[in-house]
């Protein structure tokens, strides 16, 4: 038996890696939503005074990282790695953000599951004594994503009811250790690829819900916990439709998530903001966790949270070649020490 | 001081994570090159009997992973994670390969540095006791890359002399532990993004050489080693031009790499194969290491190798927006136990 592995796919952090600080930067629409006051920065203009949407996203990610470092009280030279990813081809936002820091860079891609993938790897590095402090971050931008994946905004294409709105948002957390652990990353479950055979790229919630269920089920089984152990099991961006599918499927598996489940994509926008099935994008769970949820924890409203960012691992090429959408979800547990 | 960190950016593996087996699959041209007999599988046709180049690359990556598991004597259920990446948008090859395995998937992207990034994260997971066995793998395919990054093959565009040839190749290693450690991953240095300001996407070697030097210099400084400590310092895909630049720059920094340095992109093809400056792509260092170099180690010809895969973190969008090419390089030391 390994010290730091539990059950099938769960890793245990015995040395109390902690969240030392977070940063969140969101766009105009996200600022107008129900969580608007729960982010560090709300842009007045989604270009963020840059010449291209891509440069705006890079600036948002960079700003979230700097804010998290400032709140954690860590200088650049105290950070041993930036682990980050985004939706753009070749991780353009993360790579160009990392260029501005004199810190090793670990680029990762898990589509919209990137934030938990990053936090898991960051926790491993800190827990295992491979790094003092690590930045885990992710971003997305509605306009860069639309240009790349679907249609440039200027086309004015109509969106179907199941479509989700890629969040213009970035989130970052600094993971490290102190002598008085407070908000601790206790364990995590690595997700497998699950593909339910969905071929419609506007049905992301349906494509990701089975992966979310698989990871949550594995996590609870590995840790021998009931859903009620957590105050909140928070999926990344299943949206309204995906959330319903997850709850339905959970019941069929004998798992009652109803009372503890919420989804970042559902939380981020009001129904009347016309996002249809809710938010998505790497920045969705990154900003909702680093902004709103982290504040709920600081305010004592949440003590045990399982963050389960969800990703749809399709590409435009795979869709054009008629392939279905592989889903994935990684889970990490955040628990207030002494509770 | 942390147990597993040395100097600025080097991590130490104290628990002797080992390479238990490797797999390598290459295309026709790579099979005709000087290392042709040093790979497990050489394709007779780069389509690998698939309908698209992308599906061929997925099959190559999958086959390399299966071969490495077979040679390591590990069944699928004994593997705790597949850590993999490739050059395709949204990691199409790695994601769709992972779909065929009932194993957690960690998608990563470091352009052509992906193989060492993967091996470092795999070594951390195994060394830290978070995983029993991990697969680290990467792939690239000339035809998928040309379609995505430059010009579809049918255009018949001319390539400038500094251009490199994206290898049609995949490589995989299984990392685990035994009671009799043999080929051990001893330490690794995480690379920072270094951007020398190159804007010509056909000058990859020049864009990556400074990052390679930065990582090698940091590694030798952190570990207090001379270049001669290693039998071989093997960069990923600087190619002929990048190799010359690295050696020139090294001398200026007071570092003599001449006797121990070689580059996978230089090794993979003969000069008369018309690849111009040599090989590149995630699969270049992945296959050369998992195929040729691993055999050299098994045959007792090499005992201490520093593998330094190099990546150019550009995207087509960043190039079109006139931005320069950020380079990165990660290094991992492979040492035969008792030497």
A300 shares a domain with A152: no
| Domain co-membership, B205 together with B305 | yes
d(CA A73, CA A71): 5
pLDDT given at position B153:
80
Residue A166 and residue A267 in one domain: no
In a domain, B68, yes or no: yes
Burial class for A150, CB neighbours closer than 10 Å (0-12, 13-18, 19+): middle
Q: Do A106 and B108 touch (CB under 8 A)?
A: yes
Taking one residue from A and the other from B, the number of pairs with CB-CB distance under 8 angstroms is: 189
**Mean pLDDT of all residues in chain B?**
96
Q: Across the strands, what pairs with B305?
A: B232, B334
Same-domain pairing of A208 and A322? yes
Choose among A258, A261, A210, A264: nearest CA to A239. A264
Does residue B263 lie in a domain region? yes
Mutate: best of B8, B119, B218, B318, partner A, most A CBs <10 A = B318
State the maximum Cα–Cα separation within chain B, in Å, rounded to a whole number. Answer: 57
Residue A152 pLDDT: 75
Residue contact B2–A326, C-beta within 8 A: no
pLDDT one-digit tens code per residue, B19-49: 999 999 999 999 999 999 999 999 999 999 9
List all residues 6 or more positions away from A8 whose beta carbon is below 8 Å from its beta carbon: A218, A221, A222
Of B176, B203, B234, the domain-final residue: B176
> Same domain, yes or no, for B168 and B209?
no
In A, which residues are within 8 Å of B132 by CB distance?
2, 5
Q: Nearest Cα to A55, choosing from A155, A143, A117?
A: A143
pLDDT, position B181:
97
What tens digit of pLDDT does each residue of B41-84 get?
A: 999 999 999 999 999 999 999 999 999 999 999 999 999 999 99
Burial A7-27 (b: 16+ CB within 10 A, else e): eebbbbbeebbbbbbbbbbbb
For residue B339, pLDDT beyond 80: no
Among the candidates A141, A176, A211, a domain finishes at A176
Mean pLDDT of all residues in B186-195? 98
Count of structural domains, chain A: 2
Q: Centre a 10 Å sphere on the Cβ of residue A325 and count the other Cβ atoms it contains.
A: 24
Local structure of B133: helix, strand or coil: coil
Confidence of residue B7 (pLDDT cuts 50, 70, 90): very high
Q: Considering only CB atoms, which chain B residues are within 8 Å of A323?
A: 96
Looking at the structure, tell me whether residues A235 and A330 fall in a common domain: yes
Q: How many Cα atoms within 13 Å fall on the side-chain side of residue B59?
A: 16
3-class DSSP state of B131:
coil
Residue A330: strand pairing partners: A309
- What pLDDT, on a 0 to 100 scale, did the predictor assign at position A156? 82
Quick one: pLDDT band at residue B263, thresholds 50, 70, 90? very high
Q: Calculate the alpha carbon distances from B2 to A20, A132, B8, B131, B221 in Å.
A: 18, 7, 12, 21, 18
Q: What digits encode the pLDDT tens for the residues B265-295?
A: 999 999 999 999 999 999 999 999 999 999 9
Predicted pLDDT of residue A157: 82
Same domain, A218 and A119: no
Place of tokens 């010509």: B200
Beta carbons of A92 and B318 less than 8 Å apart: yes
CB contact under 8 A, B11 and A191: no
Q: Within this chain, do residues B93 and B150 fall inside the same structural domain, yes or no?
A: yes
Q: Which residues pair with A176 in a beta bridge?
A: A18
Residue A150: its pLDDT value, please?
79
The verdict on B110 and B245 lying in the same domain is no
DSSP class of residue A48? T
The CATH number covering residue B117 comes to 3.40.47.40
Average pLDDT over residues B151-158: 80
Cα A325 to the center of its chain, rounded Å: 19
Q: Taking CA atoms, what residue in B is nearest to A10? A: B130
Residue B304 lies in a domain: yes
Tokens representing residue A21 in the block: 């600080």
The two beta strands, A169-176 and A18-26, are antiparallel
**Averaged over B157-182, what is the pLDDT?**
95
d(CA A128, CA B2): 9
Measure in Å the smallest separation between the Cα of B47 and chain A Cα atoms: 15
Instruction: Indicate the residue among B150, B176, B202 that finishes a domain.
Output: B176
Residues B118 and B226 both lie in one domain: no
Nearest CB to B88 within list A5, A104, A315: A315
* Tokens 């294409």 belong to residue: A157
pLDDT above 80 (res B151): no
What pTM does this model have? Answer: 0.98
| Closest B-chain CA to A110 | B107
Q: Which of A90, A124, A129 sits opposite B109 (nearest CB)?
A: A90
At residue B221, φ and ψ (nearest 5 deg) are: -70, -45
* H/E stretch holding B210: helix B204-223
Asked if B129's CB is within 8 angstroms of A4's CB, the reply is yes
Interface of A with B in 73-132 (CB under 8 A): 80-81, 85, 87-92, 95-96, 98-99, 101-111, 117, 121, 124-125, 127-132
Neighbours of A97 (CB within 10 A): 29
Residue A109 pLDDT: 98
Is B96 in contact with A125 (Cβ distance < 8 A)? no
Expressed as residue numbers, the domain containing B107 is 16-176
Q: Which helix (H) or strand (E) holds B124?
A: helix B114-127
What average pLDDT does range B195-217 have in this prediction? Answer: 96
Yes or no, beta carbons of B129 and A195 under 8 Å apart: no
- Please, are residues A28 and A43 in contact by the beta-carbon 8 Å criterion? yes
pLDDT band at B221 (very low <50, low <70, confident <90, very high): very high
Task: Answer whether residue B317 shows pLDDT above 90.
Answer: yes
ipTM: 0.98
Query: Contact A96/B318, CB-based, under 8 Å?
Result: yes
In chain B, whose CA is at the least distance from the CA of A82?
B192
- Quick check: A19 and A27 in contact, CB under 8 A? no
- Tell me, what's the pLDDT at B156? 82
Residues B143 and B222 in one domain: no
**Averaged pLDDT in 10-residue chunks for chain A of 339 residues:** 92 98 98 98 98 97 98 98 97 98 98 98 98 98 91 82 96 98 98 97 96 98 98 98 98 96 98 96 98 98 98 94 97 93
Give the residues across from B15 on adjacent strands: none
- What does the block give as tokens for A248? 């339905």
Residue B11 forms part of a structural domain? no
Bridge partners of A114, per DSSP, are: none
Residue B292 corresponds to which tokens in the numbers above?
């040729």
Same domain (yes/no): A138, A258 = no
Contacts of A313 in chain B (CB under 8 A): 90-91, 95-96, 98-99, 107
Determine the residue among B109, B144, B218, B327 to mutate to test chain A binding: the one whose Cβ has the most chain A Cβ atoms within 10 Å. B109
């Amino acid at each position: 038996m390994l010290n730091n592995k539990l059950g099938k796919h769960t890793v245990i952090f015995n040395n109390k890696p902690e969240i030392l600080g977070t940063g969140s930067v969101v766009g105009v629409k996200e600022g107008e939503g129900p969580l608007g006051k729960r982010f560090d920065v709300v842009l007045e203009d989604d270009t963020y005074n840059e010449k291209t949407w891509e440069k705006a996203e890079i600036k948002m990610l960079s700003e979230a990282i700097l804010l998290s470092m400032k709140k954690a009280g860590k200088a650049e030279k105290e950070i041993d790695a930036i682990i980050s990813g985004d939706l753009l081809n070749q991780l353009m936002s993360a790579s160009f953000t990392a260029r501005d820091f004199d810190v090793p860079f670990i680029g990762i891609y898990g589509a919209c599951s990137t934030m938990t993938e990053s936090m898991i790897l960051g926790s491993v590095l800190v827990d295992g004594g491979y790094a003092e402090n690590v930045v885990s971050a992710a971003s997305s931008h509605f306009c860069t994503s639309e240009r790349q994946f679907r249609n440039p905004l200027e086309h004015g294409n109509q969106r179907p009811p199941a479509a989700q709105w890629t969040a213009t948002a970035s989130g970052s957390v600094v993971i490290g250790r102190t002598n008085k652990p407070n908000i601790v990353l206790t364990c995590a479950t690595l997700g497998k690829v699950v593909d339910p055979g969905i071929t419609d790229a506007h049905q992301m919630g349906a494509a990701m819900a089975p992966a979310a269920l698989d990871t949550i089920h594995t996590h609870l089984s590995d840790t021998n916990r009931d859903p009620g152990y957590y105050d909140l099991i928070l999926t990344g961006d299943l949206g309204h439709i995906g959330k319903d599918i997850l709850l339905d499927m959970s019941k069929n598996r004998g798992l009652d998530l109803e009372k503890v489940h919420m989804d970042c994509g559902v939380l981020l926008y009001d129904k009347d903001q016309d996002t249809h099935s809710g938010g998505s994008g790497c920045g969705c769970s990154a900003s909702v966790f680093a902004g709103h949820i982290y504040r709920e924890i600081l305010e004592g409203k949440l003590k045990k949270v399982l963050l389960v960012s969800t990703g749809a691992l399709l590409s435009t090429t795979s869709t054009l070649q008629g392939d279905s959408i592989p889903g994935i979800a990684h889970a990490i547990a955040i628990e207030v020490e002494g509770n």
